[in-house]
Amino acid sequence: MTRNSKSKSPKKKSGLGRGLEALFEDEPQLEQADEEIQEISLAEIRPNPYQPRKKFDDKTLKELSDSIKENGVFQPIIVRKSVNGYEIIAGERRYRASKMAKKETIPAIVRDFDESQMMEVAVLENLQREDLTPLEEAQAYEMLQKNLGLTQEEVSKRMGKSRPYIANYLRLLTLPSKTKRLLQHGDLSMGQARTLLGLKDKEKIDDLAKQVVKEGLPVRKVEALVAAMNADKPQKKTIRKSPFIRASESQLADKFGTNVNISETKKGKGHLSIGFDSVADLNKILAILGVDLDE
C-alpha cells in the first residue's frame, strides 16, 4: 500500500543551528513536493547502527504504543535500503512502539543516504528532541569524530554548536566508569560531572561522585568540595641526599652491578637496600659480600 504526502523540512530549534537543515539541503531529492510513503514490514527493518541513544524510556514508549494502536503512525519513519531489508535513518521510537503495538507494517519513506549522513541524522534528530543523556551526546560526538575523521571544530560546525560546547561534552568521556554510570542514569547532572573533572586526584572522583549523589549537593557545593580537596592534596616531599650518600650509592651500584639506595634517618641512622633481578644476581651479591650459605 502506498500514498503520497508532501515532505516537510524539519523545524529549527534554538541552539541547534542549521545542522539538520543544511544536511537536508545537500540532498535535492529531500525537497521534492511529493514523496512516496510505503508500508514496509517491521520484520524487514533494522535499527540505525549509529543510533546514539542507548536507553528508551519505557513509560513514554508504552504511551506512544497505545496511541499507535488507537490511531496508527501519523509521521512515517525514514529508512534506507540495505543488503538485507532496510535500516532506520530516523524514527526508531515509532519503530519500537509499533512493534510493541503488535503492528506488522509501518509507513516509511525510503531515501538514499550514505554512512556519514546516517550518523549525522541520527545524532541531530535526537539532539533536536533533547532525547540524549549527556554521556550519550558525548559518545555521539566522539563517534562522528572517529568514524568521519572530523576535528572538534568540524563537528561543532556540522552540529551547529560551539567548539567549547563540543569539547566540554567530550571531556565527560574521561570520567571513571562508576561516575559515568551515575551520569548515564541521571543521578549526576552535566554540571556536577563537569565539576568533578576538576579534581586533581582522579582516583577520588568515584567516591566524591557517590557523595554528591547521596547528599544531593548542588554544583556550587561540589565546586567548593573539589577546591578544598585540591588544596589539601599532600605534596610529595623531595629528600635531598648529601654528596657523600650519592657518591656511596654510585660506587656500590658499580660494585654490585645493580641498583643501590641509601636513605638517611635522624641521628646518622639509615637504610641500605640492594636490588636484584634474579637468583643469579643475588648469589653474585652474596659472593661479593663474602657470604657463604653452604657453611
- Could you give the number of structural domains in the chain? 3
Given this model, what pLDDT does residue 49 score?
A: 77
- Domain contains 234: no
Neighbouring-strand partners of residue 248 = none
Higher pLDDT, 51 or 294: 51
Encoded amino acid at 92, one letter:
E
Beta strand 85-90 pairing with 45-46: parallel
- Is 223 in the same domain as 134? no
Considering the domain architecture, whether residues 35 and 120 belong to the same structural domain is answered as: yes
Give the model's pLDDT for residue 16: 37
Residue 294 lies in a domain: no
Of the chain, the percentage scoring pLDDT greater than 70 comes to 78
Contact between 119 and 49 under an 8 Å Cβ cutoff? The reply is no
Tell me which of 188, 205, 229 is where a domain ends: 229
159 and 185 co-located in one domain: no
Burial class (CB in 10 A: 0-12, 13-18, 19+), 197: middle
Asked whether residue 152 is assigned to any structural domain, the reply reads yes
- Give 94-160 as a DSSP string: HHHHHHHTT-SEEEEEE----HHHHHHHHHHHHHHHT-S-HHHHHHHHHHHHHHHT--HHHHHHHHT
N-terminal to C-terminal alpha carbon distance within the chain:
99
CATH at residue 90? 3.90.1530.30
If one compares 275 and 235, the residue with the highest pLDDT of the two is: 275
pLDDT exceeds cutoff 70 at 184: yes
Q: Is the pLDDT higher at 126 or at 252?
A: 252
Is the same domain home to 32 and 156?
yes
Residues 8 and 105 reside in one and the same domain? yes
Q: How confident is the model at residue 143 (pLDDT cuts 50, 70, 90)?
A: confident
Which three cell numbers, joined as nine digits, stand for 254? 658499580
Within a domain: 171:
no
Position 80 in a domain? yes
pLDDT of residue 195: 93
Half-sphere exposure of 247 toward its Cβ, with a 13 Å CA cutoff?
3
**Which residues are catalytically annotated?**
92
Is residue 124 over pLDDT 50?
Answer: yes
23 and 135 part of one domain: yes
Give the domain extent around 154.
2-164
Average pLDDT in the chain: 78
Whether residues 9 and 89 share a domain: the answer is: yes
Could you tell me if residue 235 is inside a domain? Answer: no
**One domain for residues 60 and 125:** yes
Looking at the domain assignment, is residue 188 inside a domain?
yes
pLDDT of residue 154: 87
Helix 134-148 crosses helix 177-184 at what angle (to 10 degrees)?
A: 110
pLDDT value, residue 236: 55
Beta strand spans in the chain (E): 2-5, 35-41, 45-46, 77-82, 85-90, 105-110, 260-264, 270-274
Which has the minimum average pLDDT: 145-149, 197-201, 233-237, 271-275? Answer: 233-237
Is residue 138 domain-shared with residue 32, that is, in the same domain? yes
Cβ(203)–Cβ(231) under 8 Å? no
Class of residue 191 by CB neighbours under 10 A (exposed 0-12, middle 13-18, buried 19+): middle
Q: Which pLDDT does position 89 carry in this prediction? A: 85
pLDDT digits (tens, 9 = 90+) for 17-72: 334 444 333 333 333 446 788 899 999 998 877 777 767 778 888 888 888 888 88
13 and 143 inside one domain: yes
Is the pLDDT assigned to residue 253 strictly greater than 60? yes
Q: Is the same domain home to 25 and 160?
A: yes
Longest dimension (CA), the chain: 102
Per the DSSP assignment, residues forming a β-bridge with 87 are 46, 80
Regarding whether 148 and 72 lie in a shared domain, the answer is yes
Closest CA to 256 of 248, 264, 268: 248
Greatest mean pLDDT among 11-20, 28-37, 90-99, 171-180: 171-180
Q: Which three cell numbers stand for residue 11?
A: 523545524
Which of 11-20, 114-123, 209-218, 278-287: highest mean pLDDT? Answer: 209-218
Q: Say if 261 falls within a structural domain.
A: yes
Output the pLDDT for position 98: 92
Per-residue pLDDT of 144-164, as tens digits, reads 888 788 888 888 888 888 889
